[in-house]
Structures are given as structure tokens and as C-alpha cells.
Structure 1
Amino acid sequence: MKEQPNVEEAGVKTASFEGRLQLQDFMHCPAVASPSPSPGPSTSLSPIHRSPRLIRASSSQAYQSYPIPSSSSGPSPLQRKPSSSSTSTPLAASASPSTSSKKRKRNTSGYAPPSTYAHLPGLTDSLGPNLLILFVGLNPGIRTAQTGHAYAHPSNLFWKLLHSSRITDRLVPASLDSTLPVRYSLGLTNIVARPTRNGGELRPAELDAGFAALEDKVRRCRPEVVCLVGKSIWESVVRVRRGRALGKGAFSYGWQDEAENIGAPIPDEGAGGDGGGGWSGARVFVSSSTSGLAATLSPAEKEKIWRELGDWCVKRRAERAERAAEAGPESSLGIERVEPE
């Protein structure tokens, strides 16, 4: 080892590291022969003894001298450009509005004047004497007016409910509606005569005006029961009789009080009697609407309401048949059966 001169004896200061910096000792250059740096301890000075300035300089030189390896899979993360998907417009802004997201508004019809359906014919009532039940509908629908038969639309449940409630012993087609008075002692009429697509195209005043004509029909036919097919018809009866709308919670389907009978004879002022021979009008039964558009009640609830009327009809028909048998063949109380054509 070379002997160093005595600094104190010379009287001068000498530079460390033999007068110059050994930068190669501070640079990081991996060995060419080895694919990876040796895990062993470094022979250079520990970083804690390095000057920060020298560390920055050596790191910059090492980075510039070390080439970036090429890759067949594409540019390195440092050279990779943003993809087109990252610079595309947001989905909410670029996508066109979907038509399925728009809620479809239900077509609700308003009032339709009589001229709207003036081209459609009216419907003939099916009436007769000694009726058990007179069914009163709201007004004829379009299909009913076109065919000339009551409740003719396929979605209408009138004929099905008539059969399931045992008011008729078979499913009667709409085309045989005119035979109901003779075959089953049943009658058909409406409180409003003009046809519309649905009840929403009528004004309440039209229903109220039709009540007087309805009572006249009931007085002539004298049915035992008047069945109002739908709550709205009963609401009209209440408006006409009481001069006010039906109160909340004041309605229930089925039999109404006998004080509400329809068609009671007008008293004969000259004779002082009732002019009806003891007949006090027809009992009122309010059934559910049979229209396919009426979805307030479930099918089971409608069946229950109609079954109540059907039970009465079966019982009353049996009583009539018994009385007719006792009175003899000339009695008009029996029901003449007409077989389907």
C-alpha cells in the first residue's frame, strides 16, 4: 500500500478520493452477462453516505444510458397513448334516448257528442211480462251497436257471469239475447240509449235524464228485481232522487233497501189509491260492471256478487214453477222454454 504523505507536516490540505470523484462507483449499471442484478451486497458506498446532488446526477445518467426494451405486445406504459375509448364521449351523452324508457300514456277518452256515433244504430230492448230480473246496462258499446245484440264484445263478461251464477242453465250467446224474456224471464235495457266506445264518453247528466224513461219501462213490465249492471248507474239514481252525489262509504254491491225500489206506481189522486194493485216497485240489486275495461274488482269478487243474485234467482224460479204447477197449464207464471235455434 502506498504511503500517504503527512498532511499536517506538509502544511497543506489535500483533496479526498485521491483528488477526484469516482463516479463509476455511484452509478447503477447492471452486468451485461447477468439477466438480473446480483442479489448480493453492493460494493459501492451505502446510499446514506452519498450526497443528494450526486445521487440525482447518477440516477439521471443511469436512466438515460439504460435503453427501454421493446415489446411485441405494444408500447410500454411510458409510451402508451390514451385509447380512443378513454377519450370518447360519455355514454349518457352519446347514446340516443331509448323509446322504451318513455312511459306510454293511456288513451283516456273524454266526452263524445251524439254526432260522433250517429252512424251507429240503436239497440232494441228485450222486454216482456212477468220478468224475474230486468238487467239495466249503462249504454250500448260499439260492437253491440254494430251487431244489434247486447253485450256482444268478446271481452264483456255478462253472458259468462249470467251462466256461472246459475241465472241461466247454459252459456247463452249474445245472438240469442231477444229470447231471454220467454226462455228465462229475464229482460235487457240501458239507462242511456245512444252507443259510445265506453262510459267515459257520456256525461252524468245523460244518465240522470235516462232514469225517468227507465222507471216507465219498469212500471210497464213490473219485474221482481231491477239489476243495475255497474255502480255508476246506481250513482245516477241517487243523484236524481236525493239531489246530491253518493256519499263516501255509503255504497255496497248487492241488495239495496226496499225504500229504493224502482218503478213504484204513481198514486192515483182521484181514487186515493196507489194505482198499482199492491205492487210497490222492483227491488234493486247493484252488480259489478261486466265490461272488459272495468278492472276495479277481481274476477273472484265479481263472481261473488253475481252469485248472490243467482242464488235468489234459482230459489225464486223454483217457487214460480211450483205455483205454476198448482195453478194449471193455463197459468202465465210458468217459464216457457225455447230451445236454441
Structure 2
Amino acid sequence: MPRRHGRCSAATPCGCWGSPMTDAPTLPDYLRPGLDLVFVGINPGAYSASVGKYFATPQNRFWAALNRSGLTGGRECGPGDEEWLFEHRAIGFTDVVKRASNSASSLRAADFRAWAPLTREKLLAASPLVVCFNGITGYKWFLQYAESRKQDDVALGEQQDRLGASRVFVAPNPSPANASYSLDDIAGWYRRLGELIARARAGRDG
């Protein structure tokens, strides 16, 4: 089960990772050892945090793309199915920054300095087969604030660097604000993600 404490707050994120932030609602982490995949968003949207479900805004294309990708095993999933994916598909969820906002553009450097290193620690502790960042920008910010390095040439797909033992993959941001990629495009990248998971699983079991 994910480590949760009722309605999680930005002051005390799931897993008891304290941070001197606001006491606003945020989303729970779905993290544990033994996962195949963890999706990492930039930060929870205000609406998603208010209802306690990842990618809950109807216009967000995450769930539709995930369902087309095959990663759900044929089940039609949507907001609120995080627990099922966690238990039955070994898929987890977290964010670079746990402070919710209406837009990621409202995040400050201080938010990333406070949260990104904690997210890195949580991912290292969970050590999934694959960590998938939803969006190049989010991954760049993670590298800058969690690993103290800037990398301007990030491309979609599998990354050369690993996070501990975890392979790293970057997929398009499914936000409706990202008009550069269609729903089919995003689903295609999630299918490539599934292929990477299969290769990583074969390497682990072989």
C-alpha cells in the first residue's frame, strides 16, 4: 500500500518526508519497492489535489493515452484507479514538487530546491525498473535541483543516465497545454515505455 496519512499535505508528504512548505492539499505518493514503473509529474494540479486523484482534469490526456498504450493490461483506467494500477500493474506515481498549483509555471526555484532532492531519495528507495518523467521540462528541473546539473539536450525516450538502478524514460507532457503532441503521439511514447519495461524485466529475471 502507498504510505499515506489521510489527506496528505505539502507540509508532510507521503512517506513522512517533511518540508517547510504550505499546508495545502497535495497528492499521495504511490511508491514501494518492487514496482515496474513510476510516473513522475512536475507537480499536482490544484484540481487534482482537491479531489485526491492524479491527472483528474478531464482535458488531461494521461489516462486516455495510458489506456491506448497497453500498460493497463486491457483495463480502462481513469482518475481514481491509481490504487488498482499500484496493486495489480506495479505502477506508481509521484511528482518532482508536491506543492499543488493551477499551473507548473507558478512554481518557484525554492519549490524545486525543497522538493526535488526528496523526490530523488524516494525514487532511489523504491528503485522501480523504470522511472518515467512526464515532460522534458520536468526532467530538466529534476536534474537541475535534485542532481545539481543542467542538461539542455534532453530528448524524449530512454535516457543514457540511470537513477540508481532504475532506467529513466521521458515521455511528452500529457497536459492539454502541450499542443505539440497529439493523444496518439503520447500513447505511442507510452508503448515505447512498455517495451523498455519489458526489456528491463527480462534483464532482471534473466
* TM-score using structure 2 length: 0.78
Q: Which of the two has greater strand per residue? A: 2
C-alpha RMSD of matched pairs (Å): 2.3
- State the distance in 2 between where 1:232 and 1:253 align: 11
**In structure 2, do the counterparts of structure 1 residues 254 and 135 end up closer, same or farther at CA, with 3 Å as the change threshold?**
same
Within 5 Å, give how 1:1-341 maps onto structure 2: 120-168=24-72, 169-240=74-145, 241=147, 243-244=149-150, 246-247=151-152, 250-257=153-160, 260-262=161-163, 264=164, 281-313=165-197, 319=202
The size of the alignment, in residue pairs, is 182
- State the distance in 2 between where 1:314 and 1:236 align: 28
How far residue 293 of structure 1 moved from its aligned partner, in angstroms, is: 1.7
- State the distance in 2 between where 1:164 and 1:311 align: 14
Deviations 1:155-184 (A, max 9, x none): 111111112111112221211212322110
**In structure 2, do the counterparts of structure 1 residues 166 and 133 end up closer, same or farther at CA, with 3 Å as the change threshold?**
same
Larger Rg: 1
Deviations 1:254-273 (A, max 9, x none): 0000xx212x2xxxxxxxxx
Structure 1: tracts of 5 or more residues without a match: 1-113, 265-280, 324-341
How far residue 214 of structure 1 moved from its aligned partner, in angstroms, is: 1.4
Deviations 1:63-102 (A, max 9, x none): xxxxxxxxxxxxxxxxxxxxxxxxxxxxxxxxxxxxxxxx
- State the distance in 2 between where 1:286 and 1:207 align: 18
3-state SS of 2:80 partner: helix
The 8 Å contact of residues 133 and 169 in structure 2, kept in 1 or not, is answered as: yes
* TM-score using structure 1 length: 0.49
Letter in 2 for 1:199: A
How far residue 119 of structure 1 moved from its aligned partner, in angstroms, is: 7.3
Structure 2: tracts of 5 or more residues without a match: 1-10, 12-21
Identity fraction in percent: 28
Letter in 1 for 2:82: D
